[in-house]
Amino acid sequence: QGQLVESGGGLVQAGGSLRLSCAASGRTVSNYGMGWFRQAPGKDREFVGAISMFTGRTYYADSLTGRFTISRDNAKNTLVLQLNSLKPEDTAVYFCAAKSPYRGTYYDQHEYDYWGQGTQVTVSS
């Protein structure tokens, strides 16, 4: 059974950076559309960004463009989310997910078939 395992979360001061990784085992990330979502306490899970397996094109939530960057390291079978200029409102559990690249939109969490367990990001003011 394939797994997605996130790492790299932690506590950081506002304005700082973190690099989150999502390691895939039993699945090849280059065969999937890969996305990042986050869920803050008391809030719904929201789209952060995604990357197309075909084109490498990236998609971001409008509010996050410019601060967050998604990339994929096919050799390491890993998805990466670079978080810069972090704000306290970025505090959340961050999840990576995989979906079929042949259907659906990258923005909708319900299109994703496989999920990691999440990694906590806490930004202090």
pLDDT digits (tens, 9 = 90+) for 45-92: 999 999 987 788 999 999 887 899 999 888 888 999 999 999 999 999
* Higher-pLDDT residue of 18, 25: 18
- Cα–Cα distance, 76 to 96 (Å, whole number): 16
Q: How far is CA 30 from the centre of its chain?
A: 15
* Higher-pLDDT residue of 1, 112: 112
Q: What pLDDT sits at residue 1?
A: 62
- Cα–Cα distance, 12 to 9 (Å, whole number): 9
Q: What pLDDT sits at residue 5?
A: 95
pLDDT(96) > 70: yes
Count CA within 13 A, CB hemisphere, residue 15. 1
Burial tier of 44 (Cβ tally within 10 Å: 0-12, 13-18, 19+): exposed
